Structure formats: C-alpha cells, structure tokens
Amino acid sequence: RREQARLKAGVVEEDTEEWQKDAHFAGLERVGGVDLSYVKGDESRACASLVVLSYPALEVLYQDCRMVPVSAPYVAGFLAFREVPVLVEAVQRLQQERPQLQPQVLLVDGNGLLHPRGFGTACHLGVLTDLPCIGVAKNLLHVDGLARDELHREQVRSLQRPGETFPLTGTSGKVLGMVLRSCNNSSRPLYVSVGHRVSLGTAVRLVRACCRFRVPEPIRQVRSR
C-alpha cells in the first residue's frame, strides 16, 4: 500500500501534450495497446503483448508478443504489481530497438483511476513509463459505491448512439471514469478512466476515435496477437 500510494502521487490527470488539445488530434501519429494474457491452467506464465498502430489509419506498425514468467502472486487491488513490470519491459524494448515507433499514448486493457485506491494498471504503467495512458475496461469495477444495479443498466440502455456517455460518479462525489457506447453494433459499453497525463474528456474522445468495433483497435489488435 505504501508503494502504491507513493507512485499514485505521480499521476497527472490533465492533458500534457499538444495533440491532446486539438479537436482532431493533429500531431498524433502512434497509438499503443498493451495486454497480459495467461496460459490456461498456468498462472506462472503469461503472454505480454504490445502493439503500436498508426493514427488515424489504425494500421499495425509494431508488435511484440512474448511468453514471460509471472512470479508475483495475485492480490485483489494490487494486480498491477503482478503485471506492470513485464509491460514496462515491453515498452523499454521498443524504446531501445525502434525508438521512432514509441507510442504517444497507450491504451491499457484495464482501469486507471477507476480502482479501489485510485491507482489501477493504467495509472501504474503510466507513472513508470511516463507515457500518457488510458484505462479501457469491458466490465464495471464495483468501487466507491458503483454497482451494476438497475439504475446503471437503465443508464446504459439510454446510450443510443456511438459516442454517447455518462459519468461514473462514486459515493465520494468523485467522477472515476466514463461509460462510453463505442459503436453501433454493440450496446455493451466500455468503462474509460484516466491513467496518466491525459484528461478524462480527451481519453473518451480518443477511445471513441480508435473504435471500429466495440473494443478500440489498439486493444483489439493486442488481444488478437
């Protein structure tokens, strides 16, 4: 908890890049996606994947997928300590081998500020790499009074068109993320939250811009490797 709190102090919840302030993200050329997927029946090994896509064409420029040992145990609320080190290594390999392809932002299959202590995987990875990061989850994490109850389901049903959203406001009064309907062909939303060096509004706009289907392309592509 002390280490998590120390790292959390480094999270920046605002836009820090010029491209983030442009309505069409002028200047954004490379968007990354990261994911860790486990071997069925073997929690000691996982496939750490990183892809970089061009923007706005969303074509794959770089991919790195390799099996890695995972030694830290799973502890609820501290998943990042298990997964982020190998994702940081993937980013560092890219920076060393193909620095010209370094992503200007990373989409993380997981949460950022939407976390029991406001420091999910997207925050953790962002602080350690100092790259703008966005958390994109497919399911609602039940924190700060948030629940997938009838009110929540009703709000989800009210999202009729791609790009429509509503905020995830916890009982603390803090907006922890945004629920986004990302495409026409799926009524199941995404849960977008700030990771690092990006505002929530920009995060939602970028995730929507990267969606051809329900899941944004950087994460969809990294999951398919």
Higher pLDDT, 79 or 16: 16
Residue-number span of the structural domain to which 18 is assigned:
1-224
- CA torsion angle 119 31 212 176 (round to 10): 20
* Percent composition of the chain: helix, strand, coil (DSSP 3-state, to 5): 30, 30, 40
Domain containing residue 78: CATH number: 3.30.2170.10
User: Is pLDDT at 225 greater than 70 in this prediction?
Assistant: no
**What's the mean per-residue pLDDT of the chain?**
93
pLDDT digits (tens, 9 = 90+) for 180-204: 999 988 889 999 999 999 999 999 9
User: Is pLDDT at 76 greater than 80 in this prediction?
Assistant: no
Residue-level pLDDT at 20: 98
What single-letter amino acid sits at 128?
L
pLDDT digits (tens, 9 = 90+) for 125-140: 999 999 999 999 999 9
Residue 219 phi, psi (nearest 5): -80, -40
Predicted TM-score (pTM) of the model is 0.94
Domain count, the chain: 1
User: What is the C-alpha to C-alpha distance for residues 19 and 29, in angstroms, rounded to an integer?
Assistant: 9
pLDDT digits (tens, 9 = 90+) for 22-32: 999 999 999 99
Q: How far is CA 203 from CA 70, 105, 193, in A?
A: 29, 10, 7
